[in-house]
Each structure stands twice: as C-alpha cells, then as structure tokens.
Amino acid sequence: MTERPAQVMAPVVLRFLARVAVADGVIDPSEIEVLVYVAATMGLAEADARRVLDDELATRSDAELLARQLPDPAHLRSVFGLGCMMALAEGQVARSEQQVLDAFARGAGLSATEAREILDEIAAQMV
Amino acid sequence: VSERTPAQRGRAALAGGRYDEAVRCFAAAASLQPEDDDLHYHHAVALLWRGLPVDALAALESCIALRGPRLAAALELAVTIRKQIGLPVHGQMILPGARPVAMSTAPVGPMTTLPGTGVSPYAHSFRVAADQILASKRRP
C-alpha cells in the first residue's frame, strides 16, 4: 500500500508555493531547493517533495481550489503570507504571480484589502 | 490501448508519483466498483498527495460507509486529516488506540512573523519556511 503523507497540509502548501514560483513560466533550480526545504519543515521527505513538485509542474493546480482545502483561517493567512514571500523573492511581484496570489486569496475568502495588507506586511519584512 | 483496469493504473500512478492521474484512475475505479472500500481509500490517499485533503475526506466517508476491511484505517486517516487542517473531530470518529498527530513542539525563536502564525499549529514550520525563503532571497 502506498504511504499517505504524514502531514496532509504539506502537499497543499508545497503545490501553492510551486504554483507561485512557476507563475512566470520557469522555475529556477534554486527555487526547487527552497521548496524542498520548506516541505521538509512540514514533515515531507525530500523524495516525496520532489515527486509532488514534478506532479505539480506537470499539472498546475488551481490556487483557488488549493485555498479551499484549508478551512482554518489561521492556516490560510500564513500560507498566503508564504506565497507572498515566494512572489517577492525576486524583488517585486510579477503580474502572473499576482494572479496566482489573487486566486488563492479568493479561495481563502480574503478581501482584496486584506490580501494587499498581508502582501505589504511581508514586503516590509523583506526590505 | 492499456488492458489494465483503472484500479491497476491508479496503483501504478500512485507509486510513480503521478498523483493527478492516480486521482482520476481511482475515481473511475471507485465508480465502477463502489462496494470496494480499498478503492475509496486509495482514492483518498491520491487526493492527499494531490493537495486536496477536503476532497480526500469525502472519499474516506464513502470508504467508512461501507464498513469494510479498510474501516479502521479510513477512520484514523479521517481523524488525522480533520485535526491537521483544523476541522472539528467528531467523537464517534475516534477509534480506541488511535495515534495522536505528531506536531512540532520546538520553541519558536525570534524568527520571521507571518500573518496568522500566532494561532496556527503549524506556526513553527511556517516560520522556519519563511526564514528559508528570506535566506534564499538574500543569497548572492
């Protein structure tokens, strides 16, 4: 029997962050390494994380649907914040990345104002 | 044209990390053999890897309703999912001997602040992840 993920939120978070990272059409090997490390912090083994990433890059999840998998508002805001960090990692949020963030925010039930406030809060920390 | 059944294709896809394909195969297999609780269980596992735990709960409900050989495993997994994504756990879903979900209890240091992490059971993981993303940005 194939094992299930020990931490069921890890694939959701990993897929969302990968979705942000690949929004501009390419994903850098260094971004892959960051994502694998992030997955490890959530209890996902490296081999499992790489399999999920390969699947995600082949299928491209709907970020709005991923957000609907996290009913806890505290989880949603934290995961959205991580997505903002990924998007801001290159300095500014590209239009394609913003579209993924907007889709996740819609699924999370965050207003445009709330989403903007979180993005601004994260951006301020990354200066 | 493959002569393998949807269930066989689903198992191969799951083992090979083709989770989107595994979800579709097990959904088809479970609709063809709705009385086979093993198919509903594996559909749920595939959905978890696909990043769809809420949908996995629905598949597990189908599994649990059959009261078959996968009942205990399905109940335990449903409880685990509900705890981890922050849904209430109904008393009747807990079986004697069910293992508690292991969460990180390491102290949280003066790390990056993320919205909502003050009350999230994943606070530590999220903060470590945030620090890693920040560190990658600062790397030359």
A44-90 tens-digit pLDDT: 999 999 999 999 999 999 999 999 999 988 889 999 999 999 999 87
Q: Looking at beta carbons, which residues of chain A come within 8 Å of B119? A: 74
Q: Which pTM was predicted?
A: 0.86
Chain B touched by A120 (CB under 8 Å): no
The residue in chain B having the minimum alpha-carbon distance to the alpha carbon of residue A79 is B126
Give me the interface pTM, i.e. the ipTM: 0.93
Distance CA A86, CA A97 (A): 9
Question: What would you report as the CA-atom Rg of chain B, rounded to the nearest whole angstrom?
Answer: 19
The pLDDT score that the predictor gives to residue B123 is 66
* A105, burial (CB in 10 Å: exposed 0-12, middle 13-18, buried 19+): buried
pLDDT, tens digit, for every residue of A1-57? 468 998 899 999 999 999 999 998 888 898 899 999 999 988 899 999 999 999 999
Are residues A55 and B20, on separate chains, in Cβ contact within 8 Å? yes
Distance CA B78, CA B58 (A): 9
Position with higher pLDDT, B22 vs A6: B22
The residue in chain B having the minimum alpha-carbon distance to the alpha carbon of residue A65 is B52
Distance CA A117, CA B99 (A): 39
Are residues A38 and B132, on separate chains, in Cβ contact within 8 Å? yes
pLDDT-derived band at A126 (thresholds 50, 70, 90) equals: confident
Token pair recorded at residue B93: 């879903």
- H, E, C per residue of B4-19: CCHHHHHHHHHHCCCH
Are residues B86 and A70, on separate chains, in Cβ contact within 8 Å? yes
The pLDDT score that the predictor gives to residue A90 is 78
The pLDDT score that the predictor gives to residue B128 is 76
Residue B97 has pLDDT above 50, yes or no: no
Neighbours of A14 (CB within 10 A): 24
Are residues B51 and A30, on separate chains, in Cβ contact within 8 Å? no
List the one residue out of A84, A94, A76, A97 whose CA is nearest residue A12.
A76
Position with higher pLDDT, A90 vs B91: A90
Q: Looking at beta carbons, which residues of chain A come within 8 Å of B48? A: 4-5, 8, 11
